[in-house]
A and B are shown apart, each in its own frame.
Chain A
Amino acid sequence: MTPHDVQDLADVEESTISDDERDRPDPVTGGGGNRTAIELGLAVLAAVVLVVGLVSWWRAGDHDAADVDRAQLRDTVLITARSHIETMNTLDFNDIDGGLDKWEDVSTGTLKDQIAATDAETRKLMAERGMISTGKVTDAAVVDLTSSTATVIASVETTVVDSAKPDQAPTVKRNRMAADLVKVGGRWLLEALDQVAVSRS
């Protein structure tokens, strides 16, 4: 290698590589370019790995979203059922029509039809009994649940006040009830509400 050649090499270095490269101890032709390309490739690869990692993180956030939704549905149904069952166990003789309207509002299907079919005579009889019933669900749980149907059991405490005997302590009844609910037009409504009777087998 003649001094001339060395000068030439230096010229090449000058022209293709930036100022930063000048303090490089051993400038080798072409090596810098290759190395930069490899390093750039690594950076691109690392960027891809980062993207995969970020996507995985983002997805992991709702890994149990379906379960969360189902838990939410269960809680919604339970709260609605409790409220509806209380409504159906509540009736004031002063306002039989209003009470029955509320029953109708929380029911559907044959149950609703039955309530709606309560004739004037029956309503009159109900009013004449002079009772004020107030239902309270002391405990309840969901037995079955799909996206549009549910079965709930409830322990119901019904307090009955006889308006004819204001001095008498109210009677308290405890009933075991089972309710079937269906989702109609976005609302959960009672399709059936029955006492869980003792089975004499």
Chain B
Amino acid sequence: MNALLGTLRRHAALVLAVLLLAGAGVAFWQADRARAADNVDNRAIVDDRATTDVQSAVAAALVRVLSYDYANPEATEQAADDLLAGAAREQYDTLFAALKEKAPDQKLTLTAQVQVAAVKELHGDRAELLVFLDQASQRATDDEASYSAAQLEVQAERRDGTWKVTGIEPL
């Protein structure tokens, strides 16, 4: 025991070096952890590129999904398959069934146009947007289209690299 203490005391500098290195190891490890930590929860606007990506993807998806031509309902159906998921998908199926039934008689076309889409929340692969959308509907019997101005709260999720709309709620 005494011999060990003696050795330690003789090599005090070496012991100190080992302790300092251990401390340095801890410091580097903590630095790594701190750098990996995300101190920004909501990356909307903060991450410009990701914000623009989800903005344009959702706007494009809504235009395709909310436009409808009685002569070509398959296009809308295909869009729904590609761009909707979750609750939005189920909601859409109900709506679409009703539309498909009455549209041919009325020769109905719907044309959607996004006025502005803004990202409220962006957390990795999930986003929430506020969208102002116009929808023009025209029947064969109408001289002019009638327009509706919608305010939508839209939920989106990125699956396999593609943003899909999972919720559309009119305000």
Interface residues, chain A, with chain B CB atoms under 8 Å away: 20-21, 23-24, 36, 39-40, 42-43, 45-47, 49-50, 52-54, 56-57, 59-61, 63-65, 67-68, 70-71, 74, 138-143, 145, 152-153, 155, 174, 176, 178, 196-201
Extra contacts, 13 of them, besides A64-B40, A196-B115 (Cβ < 8 A), are A39-B11, A39-B13, A43-B16, A50-B20, A50-B21, A53-B26, A57-B28, A60-B34, A61-B34, A63-B35, A141-B120, A178-B116, A200-B145
B3 within 8 A of A: yes
Q: Are A67 and B46 in contact (CB under 8 A)?
A: yes
What residues on A are CB-neighbors of B18 within 8 Å?
46
B27 within 8 A of A: yes
Interface centre among A57, A63, A142, A197 (most CB of B within 10 A): A57
What residues on B are CB-neighbors of A60 within 8 Å?
30-32, 34-35
19 pairs of residues in contact across A and B, judged by CB atoms under 8 Å: A40-B13, A46-B19, A49-B20, A71-B45, A71-B46, A74-B44, A139-B171, A141-B118, A141-B120, A145-B45, A153-B116, A153-B118, A153-B132, A155-B130, A155-B151, A174-B151, A174-B171, A176-B115, A198-B148
Q: Are A141 and B119 in contact (CB under 8 A)?
A: yes
What residues on A are CB-neighbors of B149 within 8 Å?
176, 196-198
Q: Are B9 and A20 in contact (CB under 8 A)?
A: yes
Q: Which residue of B20, B32, B136 contacts A46 across the interface (Cβ within 8 Å)? A: B20
What residues on A are CB-neighbors of B151 within 8 Å?
139, 155, 174, 176
Give the residue name and chain of the A residue nearest to B34 (CB).
Answer: A60
What residues on B are CB-neighbors of A197 within 8 Å?
149
What residues on A are CB-neighbors of B16 within 8 Å?
43, 46
Per the bound structure, the CA–CA distance linking A174 and B17 in Å amounts to: 71
Q: With A39-B17, A50-B27 known to touch, is A176 a contact of B132 (CB < 8 Å)?
A: yes
Interface residues, chain B, with chain A CB atoms under 8 Å away: 3, 6, 9-11, 13-14, 16-21, 23-28, 30-32, 34-35, 38-47, 113, 115-116, 118-120, 129-130, 132, 134, 136, 145, 147-149, 151, 153, 171
Q: Are B13 and A42 in contact (CB under 8 A)?
A: yes
Per the bound structure, the CA–CA distance linking A49 and B11 in Å amounts to: 20
Per the bound structure, the CA–CA distance linking A198 and B149 in Å amounts to: 6
Q: Are A70 and B45 in contact (CB under 8 A)?
A: yes
Q: With A56-B27, A153-B130, A196-B116 known to touch, is A23 a contact of B3 (CB < 8 Å)?
A: yes
Give the residue name and chain of the B residue nearest to A46 (CB).
Answer: B20
What residues on A are CB-neighbors of B13 within 8 Å?
36, 39-40, 42-43
Q: With A50-B23, A53-B24 known to touch, is A20 a contact of B6 (CB < 8 Å)?
A: yes
What residues on A are CB-neighbors of B32 within 8 Å?
60
Q: Are A53 and B27 in contact (CB under 8 A)?
A: yes
Per the bound structure, the CA–CA distance linking A196 and B147 in Å amounts to: 13
What residues on B are CB-neighbors of A138 within 8 Å?
171
Per the bound structure, the CA–CA distance linking A112 and B136 in Å amounts to: 35
Q: Are A43 and B14 in contact (CB under 8 A)?
A: yes
Per the bound structure, the CA–CA distance linking A143 and B145 in Å amounts to: 29
Q: Which residue of A23, A61, A68 contacts B6 across the interface (Cβ within 8 Å)? A: A23
> Distance (Å) between the CB of B37 and the closest chain A CB?
8
> Distance (Å) between the CB of B43 and the closest chain A CB?
8
Q: Are A50 and B24 in contact (CB under 8 A)?
A: yes
> Distance (Å) between the CB of A140 and the closest chain B CB?
7
What residues on B are CB-neighbors of A199 within 8 Å?
113, 115, 134
Q: Are A21 and B27 in contact (CB under 8 A)?
A: no
Interface centre among A53, A61, A143, A178 (most CB of B within 10 A): A53
